[in-house]
Structure 1
Amino acid sequence: MNKLKLILILLTAVFTVNFGWAQVGINTTTPLSTLDINGNLSVKTITLVGSGVATDISDGVYISINPQATDQEFRLPSAVTYPGRVYIIRNINNTVTAMLTSSAGMLFPKGSTTGSTQIYMYENSKRSVIVISDGSNWTYFD
């Protein structure tokens, strides 16, 4: 009976340590973060073509948007529903402005406390943006 208790205590300790301090290393034997990648990272890329109604952004990480008319709307998902979500968005149309909105939450430029319900992406200004959900709103970097 004492051997069984000792084995159970050791198994509990081993599983607690392994799950409590779980770190995954890709191409490294000593990960220093929860996910530690020693190499290149590829993310899903998609292209969204604008239409007569708002085009929802719901998939991918690097997103090329291609508006077909001025101020065509591309809508981010709810910042509340997807805390921590990150998108890299680029307007690939050289002549047409795209409008970026959110289904819930406002868009705040980095370092600002003043948000807006939309941002415009066009040549030489906000051509590419990175947006990050904080669980309430989106912060963008251009």
Structure 2
Amino acid sequence: MKKLKLMLILITALFAVNFGLAQVGINTSNPLSTLDINGNLSVKTISLTGSGSATLISDGVYISIAPQATDQEFRLPSAVVFPGRVYIIRNIQNSITAKLTSAVGLLFPKGSTVGSTEIYMFEGSKRSIIVISDGANWTYFD
């Protein structure tokens, strides 16, 4: 009985280790990463229209923002609550500047150690950006 119990524990442990290190492949039989996609990837897209108060960004990956007045605020969620979160944000207005802020955390341009509480997105400069949470702040790429 003790041998059977020991074998069951050993088999269970082997399965747990095997599943704990699993890699998932989509359209590939030999995944090389935790998630390995051999094909196209679609992400959720949404559109947000500015309002009198800060417009919260809480859904989607590719986000088209449409400010209705100059420097209208669009607010990212807390970088602390959503570590690793990625957004692609585009100001779709031709002549109206959008202000991007964060509920918690600063906004750092790539390669910089100086962050700010807000960035402005307008024609010719930061029209489209990618922001990534590191668990404390947001890093942006334009």
| Same fold, judged at TM 0.5 (above) | yes
Q: Are 1:56 and 2:56 matched, yes or no?
A: yes
Q: Are 1:87 and 2:60 matched, yes or no?
A: no
Structure 1 residue ranges without an equivalent (≥5): none
Q: Are 1:47 and 2:47 matched, yes or no?
A: yes
**2-structure distance, mates of 1:24, 1:5:** 32
Number of aligned residue pairs: give it. Answer: 142
State the match for 2:38 in structure 1: 38
Alignment of 1:113-124 (within 5 A): 113-124=113-124
Could you tell me which amino acid in structure 2 is paired with residue 92 of structure 1?
I
State the match for 1:136 in structure 2: 136
**1-structure distance, mates of 2:115, 2:17:** 43
State the match for 1:109 in structure 2: 109
C-alpha offsets along residues 63-94 of structure 1, whole Å, 9 cap, x if unaligned?
A: 00000000000000000111110000000001
Could you tell me which amino acid in structure 2 is paired with residue 99 of structure 1?
K
**1-structure distance, mates of 2:104, 2:14:** 44
C-alpha offsets along residues 38-66 of structure 1, whole Å, 9 cap, x if unaligned?
A: 11000000000001110000000000000
C-alpha offsets along residues 3-42 of structure 1, whole Å, 9 cap, x if unaligned?
A: 6236404522431232221111111111111101111000
Could you tell me which amino acid in structure 2 is paired with residue 134 of structure 1?
D
Could you tell me which amino acid in structure 2 is paired with residue 89 of structure 1?
I
**1-structure distance, mates of 2:66, 2:30:** 42
Deviation at 1:101, TM superposition (A): 0.3
Deviation at 1:95, TM superposition (A): 1.0
Which shifted more, 2-11 or 131-140?
2-11
SS at 2:22 equivalent: coil
State the match for 1:76 in structure 2: 76
State the match for 1:65 in structure 2: 65
Could you tell me which amino acid in structure 2 is paired with residue 52 of structure 1?
G
Identical residues among aligned pairs (%): 80
SS at 2:135 equivalent: coil
Structure 2 residue ranges without an equivalent (≥5): none
**2-structure distance, mates of 1:88, 1:6:** 52
Which shifted more, 9-18 or 81-90?
9-18
Could you tell me which amino acid in structure 2 is paired with residue 109 of structure 1?
P
